[in-house]
């Protein structure tokens, strides 16, 4: 396939063409030539659009496919279609399926199902059997079988000894532990952020303290594993993370991770796009599509998350795509399941509600940093480099009036958003998203 991207503004902090408007000639999965007014030979497909932007293909580090086990909510094919429509060329799946991805058999099933999809699919494996937090999985075997990282996904690791030993096991293989921080004894039966709003609405709270305590604990355990003094850890370049905190949500969490990074600790973190949009006041109408964990917190917390993105404390933005069917959401608020679908709206949500983050900074959170954290090969816009690209218009308005996901649990359905994905180029194919 030959493709010519006409007059596209490059958004790639690692590219010498960053910020320039160029033509890109793509052939056989590679960027063959970058220039201006490149001729379109016979048989070359030309892609043109108003305000066309191009960046390396986007990466979503946190996606739940619900397959195997809950295919009526989402399956591998539908989740990959939603990812492509949302502008992603690579996604990372959580192990919280039925059965849990905790052995080579279940890992292999997802890997086989992901073959031939419009996006590259990487799979995390569970740290503990059935993600139950009790017995270790065969992590070394799973690593050699292709697991990209280890996590119990939606189930935070409660046992400190398990987390400590996991960090020790993963160090020799340059592995990555991803953990969602939550002390669940403090959040038992919780429905939303603990604060004035939860009191007014009469709902049991999920205190920010539960997240912050676990981050402090995990950092102390990592410090113990490293066994070096803070001054001995500092290097010119940030260290490759051993421990990654998923979907942080509070101002104190941002500050704790900021301090850990300043001490040279090998940590990273991400934030879900919807956490950058809503605060706990949005739940006044008891819309179960807004019921998520971690919950939407205060206005000050939202501002702190944006500040953490701006100063690179927060490394990545994720969708935390969690499909739930109508039977799981059309219930009383305290009975409804947690979760939002977000693959198709991540970019638009971040752009529409942006708090002083430059476009290059935002795209870096979807491209360069996730690949570094996940130990994936770098993708950059340069001649003779692989053509894994996302095409978009950051200023176009559009209405999110339908979803290709099997589930519909999105608070953005029916809303007008800014930032439209035009398509992706990946593995030699151009996929239009409109």
Burial 313-329 (b: 16+ CB within 10 A, else e): bbbbbbbbbbbbbeebb
102 has catalytic annotation: no
Residue of 252, 243, 167, 177 whose CA lies nearest to 210: 252
Q: Are 122 and 374 in contact, with CB atoms under 8 Å apart?
A: yes
The DSSP output letter for 423 is: E
Q: How far apart are CA 87 and CA 421, in angstroms?
A: 6
Q: Is 181 helix (H, G, I), strand (E, B) or coil?
A: coil
215 burial via Cβ count (<10 Å: 0-12, 13-18, 19+): buried
Q: Which of 12, 60, 320, 393 is catalytic?
A: 320
Q: How far apart are CA 279 and CA 77, in angstroms?
A: 32
Q: Are 423 and 119 in contact, with CB atoms under 8 Å apart?
A: no
Residue of 193, 199, 218, 417 whose CA lies nearest to 301: 193
191 burial via Cβ count (<10 Å: 0-12, 13-18, 19+): buried
Q: How far apart are CA 290 and CA 91, in angstroms?
A: 23
Q: Are 302 and 276 in contact, with CB atoms under 8 Å apart?
A: yes
Q: Name every residue whose Cβ is closer than 8 Å to that of residue 290 and which is 6 or more positions away in sequence.
A: 278, 282, 283, 296, 340, 411
Q: Is 273 helix (H, G, I), strand (E, B) or coil?
A: helix
Residue of 368, 379, 382, 432 whose CA lies nearest to 24: 382
Please provide residue 257's backbone torsions phi and psi, each rounded to the nearest 5 degrees. Answer: -70, -35
The dihedral through the CA atoms of 391, 394, 397, 402 has a sign that is: positive
**Strands 192-193, 205-206: parallel, antiparallel or unpaired by DSSP?**
parallel
Helix axis angle for 251-262 and 208-226, nearest 10°, is 10
Q: Is 271 helix (H, G, I), strand (E, B) or coil?
A: strand
Please provide residue 31's backbone torsions phi and psi, each rounded to the nearest 5 degrees. Answer: -85, 105
Task: Enumerate the active-site residues.
Answer: 320
């Amino acid at each position: 396939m030959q493709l010519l991207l006409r007059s596209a503004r490059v958004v790639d902090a690692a590219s010498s063409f960053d910020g320039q408007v160029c033509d890109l000639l793509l052939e056989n999965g590679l960027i063959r030539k970058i220039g201006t007014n490149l001729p379109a030979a016979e048989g070359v497909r030309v892609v043109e659009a108003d305000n066309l932007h191009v960046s390396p293909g986007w990466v979503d580090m946190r996606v739940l496919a619900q397959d195997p086990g809950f295919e009526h909510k989402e399956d591998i094919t539908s989740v990959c279609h939603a990812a492509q429509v949302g502008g992603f060329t690579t996604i990372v799946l959580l192990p919280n399926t039925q059965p849990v991805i905790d052995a080579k058999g279940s890992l292999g099933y997802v890997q086989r199902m992901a073959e031939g999809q419009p996006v590259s699919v990487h799979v995390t494996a569970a740290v503990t059997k059935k993600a139950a937090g009790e017995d270790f999985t065969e992590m070394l075997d799973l690593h050699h079988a292709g697991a990209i990282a280890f996590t119990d996904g939606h189930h935070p690791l409660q046992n400190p000894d398990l987390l400590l030993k996991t960090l020790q096991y993963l160090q020799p293989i340059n592995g990555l532990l991803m953990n969602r921080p939550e002390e669940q004894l403090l959040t038992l039966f919780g429905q939303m952020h603990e604060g004035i709003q939860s009191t007014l609405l009469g709902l049991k709270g999920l205190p920010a303290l539960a997240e912050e305590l676990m981050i402090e604990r995990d950092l102390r355990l990592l410090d113990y594993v490293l066994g070096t003094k803070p001054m001995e850890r500092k290097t010119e370049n940030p260290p490759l993370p051993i421990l990654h905190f998923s979907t942080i949500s509070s101002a104190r969490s941002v500050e704790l991770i900021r301090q850990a990074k300043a001490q040279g600790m090998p940590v990273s973190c991400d934030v879900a796009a919807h956490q950058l949009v809503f605060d706990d006041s949005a739940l006044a109408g008891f819309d179960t599509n807004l019921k998520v964990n971690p919950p939407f917190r205060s206005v000050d917390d939202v501002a702190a998350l944006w500040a953490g993105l701006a100063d690179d404390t927060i490394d990545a933005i994720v969708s935390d795509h969690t499909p739930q069917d109508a039977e799981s959401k059309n219930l009383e608020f305290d009975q409804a399941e947690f979760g939002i679908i977000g693959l198709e709206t991540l970019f638009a949500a971040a752009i529409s509600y942006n708090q002083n983050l430059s476009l290059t900074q935002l795209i870096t959170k979807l491209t360069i940093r996730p690949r570094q954290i996940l130990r994936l090969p770098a993708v950059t816009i340069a001649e003779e480099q692989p053509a894994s690209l996302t095409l978009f218009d950051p200023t176009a308005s559009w209405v999110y009036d339908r979803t290709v996901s099997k589930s519909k649990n999105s608070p953005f359905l029916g809303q007008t958003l800014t930032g439209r994905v035009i398509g992706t180029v990946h593995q030699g194919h151009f996929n239009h998203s409109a």
